[in-house]
């Protein structure tokens, strides 16, 4: 069993949604957390929570969609805390649309944040992990990467890519001491991109809480789990695994189940609600784009 206490964790998407729950769970395990996000305000809030729970926290406001600048981020982290023991690729972007309505900029944004940034961060950190013969890569994927979700095709593609890249990487890294895990949540209640739409999930699809996802991350690290399906309860998660196995054999059966569960209709509603959210005043949704070398805070 891996002990998380004393390990240094790089957590992307750390300032809101699932990221805040993962940060708190890591703090309870007495980890040192490097939280990366675009929002300085959000990072400051999480910093206080982590400190109260006994964890150590370093805030770095940074836009990970700037993949070409990620070497600068890693250099700064190395100067502040040394090497990273655990990378948690949590940052995500989801845009609901009919496929023909996506702009190329939107497609590039989703694929860059959800996939390319994760791959590049891993590529930059891996040489040190391999030298030390220890490390853990945790990718926050999605059930949408297992079964494509209508009107959410780019997000589904990005998460499928994240899963298959992680699967390939895990095999490459066998016997190196570096581990790879994938966390696959379904619909998330309360926090996160799905909750932001204000649309309830299909009852039969099951829901999970952000705390469920955070706990799954901790277990995956401690027990070196290859993959964790996070979906409401063990029974629902078990049914999800069974259905996904059947969908691999009978793809149209999977389509029929999704139609029956109302997934397509749900995502159409998400498109409409997403447009309404985009038209609201920005209030507390402002994004901080401070330069990397400014406003870095170390909390012990």
From 96, 155, 187, 258, the catalytic residue? 155
Catalytic residue at 155? yes
How many residues are present in the chain?
Answer: 300
**Active centre residues (catalytic):** 155
């Amino acid at each position: 069993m891996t002990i998380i206490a004393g390990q240094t964790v790089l957590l992307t998407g750390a300032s809101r949604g699932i990221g805040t729950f993962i940060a708190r769970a890591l703090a309870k395990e007495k980890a040192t957390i490097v939280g990366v996000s675009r929002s300085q305000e959000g990072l400051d809030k999480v910093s206080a929570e982590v400190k109260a729970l006994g964890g150590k926290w370093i805030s770095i406001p940074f836009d990970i969609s700037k993949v070409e600048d990620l070497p600068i981020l890693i250099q700064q982290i190395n100067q502040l805390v040394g090497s990273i023991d655990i990378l948690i690729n949590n940052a995500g972007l989801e845009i609901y649309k009919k496929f023909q309505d996506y702009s190329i900029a939107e497609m590039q944004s989703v694929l860059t944040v959800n996939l390319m940034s994760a791959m590049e961060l891993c590529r930059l950190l891996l040489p040190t992990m391999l030298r030390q013969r220890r490390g853990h890569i945790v990718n926050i994927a999605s059930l949408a990467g297992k079964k494509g979700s209508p009107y959410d095709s780019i997000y589904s593609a990005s998460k499928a890519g994240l899963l298959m890249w992680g699967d390939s990487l895990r095999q490459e890294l066998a016997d190196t001491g570096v581990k790879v895990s994938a966390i696959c949540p379904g619909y998330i209640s309360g926090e996160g991109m799905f909750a932001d739409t204000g649309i309830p999930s299909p009852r039969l699809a099951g829901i999970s809480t952000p705390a469920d996802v955070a706990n799954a991350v901790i277990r995956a690290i401690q027990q070196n789990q290859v993959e964790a399906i996070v979906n409401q309860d063990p029974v629902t998660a078990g049914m999800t695994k069974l259905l996904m196995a059947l969908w691999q054999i009978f793809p149209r059966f999977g389509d029929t189940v999704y139609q029956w569960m109302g997934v397509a209709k749900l995502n159409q509603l998400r498109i409409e609600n997403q447009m309404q959210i985009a038209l609201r005043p920005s209030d507390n949704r402002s994004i901080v784009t401070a330069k990397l070398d400014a406003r870095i805070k170390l909390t012990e």
